[in-house]
Amino acid sequence: MSLVRNGSNGSSSRALAPNPYSLARELLGWDPFFSGRPTSAFAPAFEVKETTDSFVLKADLPGVDEKDLDVAIHNGVLTVSGSRQAEERRDGESYALYERQYGSFTRSFALPDIADGERIDAQLTSGVLTLTVAKKAEAKPRKISIKK
């Protein structure tokens, strides 16, 4: 938001007025214009890469137990869902800062036709989920010999 002031000589100058919601956004993670959803929901970061033999998806899931994680495939869509539980607060404890995020998440990825949904390997190691989706044999490059 900006205000325009008229000077005594008829010129105008611009001064920025403070945003009344900025303090609430910074301190509480609350944004009144963000559809009512909290901005601090747990949303793990993913990366997806393609190699010659497979597609590899990696997600940072610190604090997520294997029992709280579900990986499924249906009609060519790979879905990863899970939750990270908040620590139990005890009487007499108070937090000076509370920034860690907790809750449930779901991410879905449409696999290309060359992905083999029957051959998926999943590993959770040191808080990193690695999903390896093999490519179909006919999708892999192959050398064609020339006949004489």
**Confidence (pLDDT) at 95:** 76
**Confidence (pLDDT) at 35:** 47
Contact between 33 and 94 (Cβ < 8 Å): no
Which domains, ranges and CATH numbers included, belong to the chain? 42-86+99-137 (2.60.40.790)
Give the pair of three-digit tokens for residue 20.
Answer: 């009344």
Q: Cα separation of 36 and 47, whole Å?
A: 28
Mean pLDDT by 10 residues, the chain (148 residues): 48 55 58 50 90 95 93 95 86 79 91 93 96 87 83
Q: Which helix (H) or strand (E) element contains residue 25?
A: helix 22-28
> Who's near 27: CB < 8 A, 6+ residues apart?
none
List the one residue out of 55, 54, 58 whose CA is nearest residue 45.
Answer: 58
Give the pair of three-digit tokens for residue 131.
Answer: 């999903």
- Helix, strand, coil in percent for the chain, rounding step 5: 10, 45, 50
